[in-house]
Structure 1
Amino acid sequence: MGFDGVVRDGTRQARRVAKGRAVGVAARAGFVARGALYALVGVLALRVAFAADGGQQADRGGALTEIADKPFGNALLWLLALALAGMALWRLSEALFGQAGPDGRRAGKRLASAGRAVFYGVVGYSVLAYVTGDKGSGSGSSDRQSDDVTATALGWPSGQWIVGAVGAGVAAAGVWIAVRAVRRTYHKHLRLNEMSTPVRRTVDTLGVVGGTGRGAVFAAAGAFVVVAAARHEPGEAKGMDDVLRSFRDTPAGPWLLVAVALALVAFGLFSWACARWRRV
C-alpha cells in the first residue's frame, strides 16, 4: 500500500472512531456537564437577585466554588472536566468529519464546530486547572478577567476597532442564539420521534426559554464590550457576573434578573435533554 493509500485508510479509521460509540458517549457527558454549569449559574443568579450583601459570584467561577464546597466536590469537578473534554473532542470530530445530518459537512458548520471545540477545550482546561490546585484559573472573577483582556486589547494598534468588532460579534451571536431558539431550529438535532407528546412540549419550552435567555446574556455582554470600546474604558466590559447583575439594576428591579436566571436554569435542563435525545 502506497503513502496515499495509508493516508486514506487512516482517514477512514479516524472517521469510524469519530462516529463511534465512545465519542457519542463523550458528547452526551459533555451535555450533562454543560447543563450542570448553566443550571448552577442560574441558581447563583437567583441568589444575587435578592441578596442584600450582593450574593455569591454568578458565573463559572462561582459554580465551580459551589461544587467544590459539596461532599465529594473534587471528584465531581474531575468528572466535569473530563465531560467537557469529551464535548470538545466531539466538536473537534464534527469539525474534521462533519456534523450529523444531510448538510453537516458544510464548511460553515464545520467551522462553527471548530470554534465550539476550542471553547469547550478552554472551559474544560480551566476546570481541570482549578481541581488540580490553580484556584485562580477556573474560579477567578469573570468580571476581572474581562477587564484585563479588554484593557490589553485596547492598548493594541487599532485596539478600539478590534474590541468594538469583537463586542459587536458577541452581541450578534446572542441575537442569533435567541432567534434560533424561538424558531426551534434545534428540532433537526433531536430524535423527536422518541419523545412522548408531554416530554416534547416540555423540551420545547426549555429550549425556547433557555435559548432565549442565554442569547440575551450574550447580547448584553457584547453590548457592554462595544461601550467599552467606544469610551476606551476597559471597566465598561463586563463578565457574566456583572452582566447578570446589570439586569437587576434595570427599572424592572430584581425580577428581570429572576427571569434571566430561570431561563439559564431552563437551558441547563434543556442541555440534559440533549444528552438523552441529541443526534451525535
Structure 2
Amino acid sequence: MAGPGRTPAQPKAAAPATEAAARAGLAAQGVIYLLVGLLALQVAFGRREAQADQQGALATLSDQPFGAVLLWALGIGLVGMALWRLSEAVFGGAGPDGRKPHMRLLALGRCLFYSYVAYSVLRFTVSGDGGGSGDEKSRDATATALDLPAGRWLVAVGGAVIVVAGVWIGVQAVRRTYRETLKTGEMSPAGRRLADVTGIGGGVTRGLLFAAIGTFAVQAAVKHRSDEAKGLDDTLRTFADTALGPWLLAVVALGLVLFGVFSFVLAARRRV
C-alpha cells in the first residue's frame, strides 16, 4: 500500500525528496506573498515609491543582512516547487482527484509557471536584474501579442482565461477545498481556524487580483493599447484610485499577507 502523501505509482525513494521540495516551495511562496502584501501596505499608507510585486519583494530581501543567502534560499525553494508540481503531473497529487487528467494538466501548468518564477528569482540573485518590473513585462508581452495575427483575440482570450481562473480561485477558497489536502486530523482547533481565516481571506484576495489583471488584459485587447495591461503593482495601485481610496488597497494588501501566512500553513501541514 502507498503511504501518506504518496500515490501508488510513485517510487518510495522519491517521496521524501518530493515532500522536502514541496514544503520548501510553499514556504518560498509564502515569503513572496507576505513581502508583496507588506509593500502594498506601504503604498497604501503613503510610500508611493514602494514596488508591490515580485521585483520589489526581491529587492527588499536583497537589502537585508545575508540578503544573498536569503535570495538563494528563495530561488532554490521555488525550484523545489516546480519539481513538486512536475511530480504531481507525472505521478498524480494528493487528494481524491489528484490523479485525474485535469489535475495532472493543472499541475503541469503550475510547474511551468513556477519554473519561470524560479528562473526570475535566480536571475535576480546572480545579476541583480530581474528583467524589469512586472508592469513592464506585462506591457511588453501584451504589445508583442497584439502585433501577432489575430493578436487582439489572443490577448482577449488570454485575459478572459485569467479572469475565469481568478473567479475559480476565489470560489474554491470560499468552499474551503484546501481542506482536502491538509492534515486536519493532526491540527489543533486553533490551527484549523488559522487555516480557514488565512485560506479564505488570502484565497479570495488572490482570486480578486487574478480577475483584475485579466480584466485589464481584456481591456488592452479591446482598445488595442498595450499600456492598458497591468502587472501586479499597477493593479494593486488601482484599488487606491477607487472611491474607497487607500483603505481598499490596505484591505487587499492584508489579504496578500493572509495568503502568505496560509502558504506557511500549507508548508507545515499539507499532504504531499
**Fold-level similarity (TM above 0.5):** yes
1:144 maps onto 2:136 in alignment: yes
Task: Choose from 208, 215, 220 the match for 1:216.
Answer: 208
Mapping 1:27-176, distance limit 5 Å:
27-51=22-46, 54-137=48-131, 140-176=132-168
- 2:199 corresponds in structure 1 to 207
1:236 maps onto 2:228 in alignment: yes
- Report the CA distance between 1:198 and its aligned residue: 1.6
Q: Secondary structure at the match of 2:230?
A: coil
| 2:240–2:246 contact (8 Å) kept in structure 1 | yes
- 2:3 corresponds in structure 1 to none
- Cα distance in 2 for partners of 1:229, 1:17 equals 48
- Report the CA distance between 1:101 and its aligned residue: 2.7
- Cα distance in 1 for partners of 2:96, 2:38 equals 38
- Cα distance in 2 for partners of 1:192, 1:90 equals 21
CA displacement 1:77-133 (0-9 Å, x = unmatched): 000000000010000000001112332111000000000011111101111111111
- Report the CA distance between 1:19 and its aligned residue: 4.7
Task: Choose from 246, 266, 270 the match for 1:274.
Answer: 266
| 1:18–1:93 contact (8 Å) kept in structure 2 | no
Q: Which amino acid aligns with 2:171?
A: V
| 2:121–2:130 contact (8 Å) kept in structure 1 | no
- 2:238 corresponds in structure 1 to 246
CA displacement 1:153-189 (0-9 Å, x = unmatched): 0000000000000000001101100000001010101
Q: Secondary structure at the match of 2:10?
A: helix
- Cα distance in 2 for partners of 1:120, 1:69 equals 24
Give the 3 Å change call, closer, same or farther, for CA 36–150 of structure 1 in structure 2.
same
Q: Secondary structure at the match of 2:51?
A: coil
- Pairs aligned (count): 266
The higher radius of gyration belongs to 1
- 1:8 corresponds in structure 2 to none
Q: Which amino acid aligns with 1:208?
A: I
1:258 maps onto 2:250 in alignment: yes
Calculate percent identity across the aligned residue pairs. Answer: 54
Task: Choose from 19, 27, 30 the match for 1:24.
Answer: 19
| 1:45–1:258 contact (8 Å) kept in structure 2 | yes
Superposition CA RMSD, Å: 1.5
| 1:167–1:224 contact (8 Å) kept in structure 2 | yes
Structure 1 unaligned spans of 5+ = 1-11
| 1:84–1:120 contact (8 Å) kept in structure 2 | yes
Give the 3 Å change call, closer, same or farther, for CA 165–237 of structure 1 in structure 2.
same
1:180 maps onto 2:176 in alignment: no
- Cα distance in 1 for partners of 2:153, 2:200 equals 33
| 1:35–1:270 contact (8 Å) kept in structure 2 | yes
- Cα distance in 1 for partners of 2:95, 2:26 equals 19
| 2:120–2:130 contact (8 Å) kept in structure 1 | no
Dislocated runs of 4+, deviation >2 Å: none
- Cα distance in 1 for partners of 2:234, 2:96 equals 41
Q: Which amino acid aligns with 1:57?
A: Q
Q: Which amino acid aligns with 1:177?
A: I
Q: Which amino acid aligns with 1:92?
A: L
- Cα distance in 2 for partners of 1:59, 1:97 equals 33
- Cα distance in 1 for partners of 2:61, 2:99 equals 38
Structure 2 unaligned spans of 5+ = 1-6
- Report the CA distance between 1:136 and its aligned residue: 3.6
Q: Which amino acid aligns with 2:254?
A: L
